[in-house]
């Protein structure tokens, strides 16, 4: 059925309908023309005969009959009525009665008379007018023309039956039927072929449109003609290429956004209007510690105690981003919610941006702790300076021995503060990258040896033995000699400080791959495992009181770490409580 609905078949049907539209009028016209020519001849015969017929006034029916009969009418064809399809009947005009009739009507005379009385031509002749109007009439299924001729006191009523020309019309109809048949067949063939020139490009375009809908752009359509179909093909090709470009643009935009989402450190979760998750990026999964997240918005809000529902965000039209802070898996997470809308500004869903602010929070805490530490470290010496000075002012200065003792304490506390301030300044310079590095080539081995010499007395005071081993040929390194010395001295000082009397300190210098390595091992008090990772933090001390007693600020190792790292090296510590500590410094050659 679809086949017959196709454009191709419709075109064929139009052709055939056109054939029929032409053939039917032609056949009707032909029929009319044939009838007319027969009628005209019939009429002419009668009128010519009437002119040639000199009828004497007062002629009787007998005279008329005689004139019309074969003997009376020398010219046999007076009205040319001697044919089996022609009849004539004579009426008396004054009495309107039929005087003679044709054999044809003998059987059905009453009916015939009634028909004659109803003939407009007869009525016209009766009124003295010509009865020569062309009327095709019917009686008992037979068609005929009639003619009523007024002659003297009589009316001669002629009839001409269509049987005379019916054969010709039938012949014509046969011809027309044959022609129509040929025309329909030709229309079928020509219409089919012609319509193909229209439908093939359309089918091509249709196929291509279908391919495009499936996302396949493929080849460009061939423009076969310079007509509307050609224009359509061109327009279609243009549309397809534009569509392709737009799609490429959209997909590149999409992949850009996907890449951004994938590599963002912030977590992104998109929920649709029903609250279902439609997108979640890897960072969000890491933050939430989940591989797959299959929950809706309100479950998500409940699970992480966000105390916010999808309806709150969408229906209350929270235009500015709503912010929540929560702890998830020991991390401090800040979550921002924002709605996204369609073209009509109608909310389509919610986007949650998850920001891990743990580090920020940590830094903030560290900053606060640092300020607290600094104030605390400053307050201790200041308090003791203040109290000794007050005691001196209260009169203690009079006893010179006490005065000297107190002043010595004040001096050493002032030194301690100076050290602290010096260390803080150095750290601040390192933090702000304002350190002036005096880079030079120097021998690391020599630096270590000199440092040991500098601290020899200190060690001997504690009855400690320092052994050093230089392993292999150690190349020179490049760096700030004074700062590296500061590091080495700090490590050695710590080793002496935190090793009891009679302990042993071993120093190794070696080259491992592209690094020179310094290892300082002591047999001291060691560092508890839990503190080991924190000794490089600022102000971190395992035993605060003890360190302070020994004059430490708690900043030495943190400064050492900054210096070593600024040289591209590393500093690490290993220790066993009660057995000893080993600090390792690696510096690139």
Q: Considering only residues 16, 300, 547, 564, which one is a binding residue for ligand ADP as defined by CB under 6 A?
A: 547
| DSSP assignment string, 478-526 | EEEHHHHHHHHHHHHHHHHHTS-TT-EEEEEEEEETTEEEEEEEE-S--
By the rule CB under 6 A, 165 interacts with ligand ADP? no
For ligand ADP, the closer of residues 268 and 495 by Cβ is 495
- Asked if residues 522 and 503 have their Cβ atoms less than 8 Å apart, the reply is yes
In 68-189 the beta strands, taken as DSSP E runs, fall at 86-92, 97-100, 137-139, 142-151, 154-161
Pairing of strands 154-161, 86-92: antiparallel
Residues 551-582: b if buried by 16+ CB within 10 A, e if exposed: ebbbbbbbbbbbbbeebebebebebeeeebbb
503 lines the binding site for ligand ADP (CB under 6 A): no
**In the complex, least distance from residue 492 CB atom to ligand ADP, rounded to whole angstroms:** 9
Q: Does 79 bind ligand ADP (CB under 6 A)?
A: no
Neighbours of 479 (CB within 10 A): 25
Residue 581 interacts with ligand ADP (CB under 6 A): yes or no: yes
DSSP-assigned states of every residue in 297-319: HHHHHHHTT----HHHHHHTT--
| 49 vs 554 by CB, closer to ligand ADP | 554
- Residue 522 in contact with ligand ADP, rule: CB under 6 A: yes
- Is the Cβ of residue 234 or residue 454 nearer to ligand ADP in the bound state? 454
Residue 364: CB minimum distance to ligand ADP, A: 23
Work out which of 195, 556, 563, 585 binds ligand ADP, going by CB under 6 A. Answer: 556
Task: Lay out the sheet containing 504-512: strands in order across.
Answer: 465-470, 504-512, 515-522, 580-588, 570-576
- Applying CB under 6 A, the span of 206-214, 216-224, 320-328, 556-564 interacting with ligand ADP comes to 556-564
Does residue 381 bind ligand ADP (CB under 6 A)?
no
Query: Using the rule CB under 6 A, which residue among 101, 233, 494, 523 binds ligand ADP?
Result: 494
191 binds ligand ADP (CB under 6 A): no
Q: Taking CB under 6 A as the rule, does residue 552 contact ligand ADP?
A: yes
**163-213 and 228-263 helices, crossing angle to 10°:** 20
Would the CA dihedral through 43, 44, 45, 49 be positive or negative?
positive
Shortest Å, Cβ 288 to ligand ADP: 37
* Region of 54-62, 232-240, 285-293, 535-543 interacting with ligand ADP (CB under 6 A): 535-543
Among 38, 277, 498, 571, binds ligand ADP (CB under 6 A): 498
Shortest-Cβ-distance residue relative to ligand ADP: 552
- 560 φψ region: left (φ > 0), alpha (ψ -120 to 50), beta (else): alpha
**287 touching ligand ADP, by CB under 6 A:** no
Compute the least distance from the CB of residue 588 to ligand ADP, in Å: 23
Tell me which residues touch ligand ADP (CB under 6 A): 490, 494-495, 498, 522, 524-527, 535, 540-543, 547, 552-558, 581
């Amino acid at each position: 059925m679809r086949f017959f609905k196709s454009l191709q078949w419709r075109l064929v049907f139009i052709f055939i309908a056109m054939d029929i539209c032409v053939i039917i009028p032609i056949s009707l016209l032909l029929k009319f023309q044939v009838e007319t020519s027969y009628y005209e001849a019939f009429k002419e015969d009668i009128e010519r005969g009437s002119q040639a017929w000199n009828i004497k006034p007062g002629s009787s029916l007998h005279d008329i009959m005689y004139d019309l009969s074969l003997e009376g009418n020398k010219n046999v064809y007076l009205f040319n009525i001697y044919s089996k399809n022609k009849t004539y009947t004579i009426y008396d005009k004054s009495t309107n009665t039929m005087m003679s009739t044709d054999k044809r009507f003998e059987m059905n005379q009453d009916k015939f008379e009634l028909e004659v009385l109803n003939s407009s031509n007869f009525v016209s002749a009766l009124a003295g007018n010509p009865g020569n109007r062309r009327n095709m009439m019917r009686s008992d299924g037979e068609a005929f023309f009639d003619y009523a001729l007024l002659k003297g006191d009589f009316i001669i009523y002629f009839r001409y039956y269509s049987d005379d020309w019916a054969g010709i019309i039938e012949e014509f109809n046969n011809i027309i039927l044959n022609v129509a048949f040929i025309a329909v067949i030709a229309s079928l063939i020509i219409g089919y072929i012609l319509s193909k020139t229209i439908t093939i490009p359309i089918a091509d375009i249709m196929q291509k449109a279908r391919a495009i809908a499936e996302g396949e752009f493929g080849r460009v359509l061939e423009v076969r003609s310079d007509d509307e179909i050609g224009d359509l093909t061109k327009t279609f090709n243009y549309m397809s290429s534009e569509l392709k470009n737009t799609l490429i643009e959209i997909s590149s935009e999409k992949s850009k956004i996907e890449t951004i989402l994938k590599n963002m450190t912030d977590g992104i979760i998109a929920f649709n209007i029903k609250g279902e998750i439609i997108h979640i990026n890897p960072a969000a999964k890491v933050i939430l510690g989940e591989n797959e997240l299959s929950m809706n918005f309100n479950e998500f809000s409940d699970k992480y105690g966000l105390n916010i529902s999808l309806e709150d965000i969408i229906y209350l039209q929270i235009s500015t981003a709503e912010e929540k802070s929560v702890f998830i898996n020991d991390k401090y997470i800040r979550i921002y919610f924002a709605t996204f809308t369609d073209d009509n500004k109608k909310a389509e869903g919610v986007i949650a941006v998850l920001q891990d602010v743990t580090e920020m929070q940590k830094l903030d805490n560290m900053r606060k702790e640092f300020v607290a530490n600094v104030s605390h470290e400053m307050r201790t010496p200041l308090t003791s300076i203040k109290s000794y000075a007050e005691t001196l002012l209260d009169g203690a200065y009079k006893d010179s021995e006490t005065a000297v003792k107190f002043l010595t304490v004040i001096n050493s506390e002032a030194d301690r503060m100076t050290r602290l301030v010096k260390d803080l300044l150095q750290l601040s310079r390192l933090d702000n990258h304002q350190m002036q590095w005096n880079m030079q080539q120097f021998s690391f081995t020599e630096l270590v040896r000199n440092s040991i010499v500098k601290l020899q007395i200190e060690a001997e005071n504690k009855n400690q033995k320092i052994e050093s081993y230089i392993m292999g040929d150690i190349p020179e390194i490049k760096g700030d000699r004074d700062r590296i010395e500061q590091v080495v001295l700090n490590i050695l000082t710590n080793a002496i400080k935190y090793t009891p009397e009679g302990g042993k300190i071993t120093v190794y210098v070696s080259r491992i791959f592209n690094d020179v390595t310094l290892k300082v091992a002591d047999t001291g008090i060691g560092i508890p495992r839990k503190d080991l990772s924190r000794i490089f933090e600022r102000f971190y001390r395992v035993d605060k009181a003890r360190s302070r007693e020994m004059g430490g600020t708690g900043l030495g190792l943190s400064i050492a770490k900054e210096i070593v790292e600024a040289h591209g090296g590393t500093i690490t510590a290993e220790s066993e409580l009660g057995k000893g500590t080993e600090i390792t410094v690696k510096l690139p050659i």
